[in-house]
């Protein structure tokens, strides 16, 4: 290839980049217009499940030239910019501020996403009642308050808008030290120490480790004039470009992929291809009932993707069985399935229809 041919290719790419910027500006302007129209009609501006459906459609257009994850990473940032311009509210993250649940939210909703982290379930519900989607980890060992989430789904206070799988990744950073050997002290939370125990045991330097009460306190310690190190989630790190990365690609064998869900106040009951639903069934202590429930669902040629059981007190039932299943082609068939389940249960409830999504 000659230098002239190379220059021509570069000019072509420059022209494409200019077109992309122009289209992004046009898309953002249209998103703001849509937000104003939805506000006037009382519709929710933020509809997370629709974003996943857009990515699915665009991935099919890309075929094998771009992976679904590559398409997702680009468009999640585009959606994030549009949401920020729409000023339509915040995504409420149920978990510690600056913790890895917030990091997962940044991976899902983009670095421009307006987030509000709360560690109190009543505040979480209040945010959702105010029209903001809520985002929470529902993998049992990491869920902040799984029983409260389940109770709210049963009572209809929450509905599932989407499910998201995410494998957290961490990095060791410093405020001023260019090398780990020069770090004065390493600040971590007790949870981070547990999640990355193998990494900390592998450190050969004689480091002073400071256990902080919260991830926010870890951030505060990085403001020290002394060379200080800390372990941070990688997406949060992207919002702090002044920090020095000493080690990256740290993963915990205890976590991933963790399951998160986005919740809304009203369920989506529009039956569309590729959506899932979770059937919540209240039963007694007889675990054999679970197999009966699965058999009934399979009688309707539906797939069962996940089964969870939770002990439950203060109700006529002793256990809640959560069955995540594919949807039938019609509402009539779905109602028939529910009616077939009811004689086997003390309670049956659907949590809404939602898409599922994964980022590694």
Q: In this structure, is residue 41 part of a structural domain?
A: yes
Q: In this structure, is residue 183 part of a structural domain?
A: yes
257 upstream amide cis, omega within 30 of 0? yes
Instruction: Please identify, among 105, 132, 166, the residue that sits at the C-terminal boundary of a domain.
Output: 166
Q: In this structure, is residue 218 part of a structural domain?
A: yes
Task: Note whether 209 and 162 are same-domain residues.
Answer: no
Q: In this structure, is residue 256 part of a structural domain?
A: no
Instruction: Please identify, among 206, 222, 249, the residue that sits at the C-terminal boundary of a domain.
Output: 249
Paired tokens of 214: 């919260």
Task: Note whether 24 and 97 are same-domain residues.
Answer: yes
Task: Note whether 36 and 139 are same-domain residues.
Answer: yes
Task: Note whether 201 and 308 are same-domain residues.
Answer: no
Task: Note whether 63 and 117 are same-domain residues.
Answer: yes
Separation CA 157–CA 267 (nearest Å)? 10
Q: In this structure, is residue 359 part of a structural domain?
A: no
Task: Note whether 273 and 201 are same-domain residues.
Answer: no
Evaluate whether 110 touches 79 at the Cβ level (below 8 Å): yes
| Residue 217 scores a pLDDT above 70 | yes
With left for phi above 0 and alpha for psi between -120 and 50, is residue 117 left, alpha or beta? Answer: beta
Extended beta strands in 108-201, E state: 115-118, 134-137, 159-166, 170-174, 185-189
Q: In this structure, is residue 245 part of a structural domain?
A: yes
Greater confidence (304 vs 89) lies with: 304
- Write down the pLDDT at residue 3: 79
Task: Note whether 318 and 209 are same-domain residues.
Answer: no
Task: Note whether 315 and 350 are same-domain residues.
Answer: yes
- Write down the pLDDT at residue 360: 63
| Residue 192 scores a pLDDT above 90 | no
- Write down the pLDDT at residue 277: 94
**Residue 68 lies in domain:** 3-166
Report the domain count for the chain. 3
Q: In this structure, is residue 15 part of a structural domain?
A: yes
Q: Following CA atoms 170, 174, 175, 177 in sequence, which dihedral angle do they give, to the nearest 10 degrees?
A: -160
Task: Note whether 152 and 19 are same-domain residues.
Answer: yes
Range of lowest pLDDT (31-40, 160-169, 184-193, 261-270): 31-40
Separation CA 201–CA 194 (nearest Å)? 11
Paired tokens of 119: 């560690």
Q: How confident is the model at residue 353 (pLDDT cuts 50, 70, 90)?
A: very high
Q: In this structure, is residue 257 part of a structural domain?
A: no
Task: Note whether 35 and 142 are same-domain residues.
Answer: yes
Task: Note whether 10 and 155 are same-domain residues.
Answer: yes
Burial (CB < 10 A; 0-12, 13-18, 19+), residue 26, is: exposed
CA atoms within 13 A on the CB side of 15: 6
Extended beta strands in 138-183, E state: 159-166, 170-174
Instruction: Please identify, among 249, 284, 305, the residue that sits at the C-terminal boundary of a domain.
Output: 249
Task: Note whether 127 and 46 are same-domain residues.
Answer: yes
Paired tokens of 347: 């309670």
The pairing of strands 319-326 and 304-311 is antiparallel
């Amino acid at each position: 290839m000659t230098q002239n041919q190379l220059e021509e290719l570069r000019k072509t790419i420059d022209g494409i980049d200019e077109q992309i910027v122009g289209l992004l500006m046009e898309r953002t302007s249209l998103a703001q217009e849509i937000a104003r129209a939805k506000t006037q009609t009382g519709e929710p501006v933020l509809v997370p499940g629709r974003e996943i459906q857009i990515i699915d459609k665009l991935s099919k257009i890309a075929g094998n030239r771009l992976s679904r994850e590559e398409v997702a990473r680009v468009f999640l940032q585009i959606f994030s910019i549009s949401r920020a311009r729409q000023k339509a509210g915040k995504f409420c993250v149920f978990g510690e501020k600056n913790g890895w649940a917030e990091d997962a939210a940044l991976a899902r909703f983009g670095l421009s996403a307006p987030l509000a982290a709360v560690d109190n379930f009543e505040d979480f519900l209040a945010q959702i009642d105010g029209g903001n989607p809520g985002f929470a980890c529902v993998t049992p060992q990491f869920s902040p308050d799984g029983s409260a989430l389940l109770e709210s789904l049963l009572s209809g206070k929450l509905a599932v808008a989407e499910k998201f799988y995410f494998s957290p990744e961490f990095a060791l950073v410093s405020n001023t030290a260019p090398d780990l050997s020069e770090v004065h002290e390493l600040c971590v939370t007790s949870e981070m120490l547990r999640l990355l125990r193998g990494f900390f045991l592998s450190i050969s330097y004689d480091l002073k480790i400071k256990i902080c009460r919260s991830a926010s306190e870890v951030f505060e310690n990085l403001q020290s004039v002394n060379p200080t190190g800390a372990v941070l989630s990688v997406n949060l790190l992207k919002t702090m470009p002044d920090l020095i990365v000493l080690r990256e690609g740290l993963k915990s064998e205890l976590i991933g992929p963790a399951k998160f869900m986005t919740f809304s106040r009203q369920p989506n009951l529009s039956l569309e291809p590729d959506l899932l639903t979770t059937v919540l069934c209240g039963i007694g202590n007889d675990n054999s009932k679970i197999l009966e429930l699965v058999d009934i669902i399979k009688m309707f040629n539906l797939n069962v993707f996940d089964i969870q059981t939770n002990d439950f007190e203060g109700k006529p039932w002793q256990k809640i069985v959560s069955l995540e299943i594919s949807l039938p082609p019609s509402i009539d068939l779905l109602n028939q399935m529910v009616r077939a389940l009811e004689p086997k249960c003390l309670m049956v409830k659907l949590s809404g229809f939602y898409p599922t999504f994964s980022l590694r």
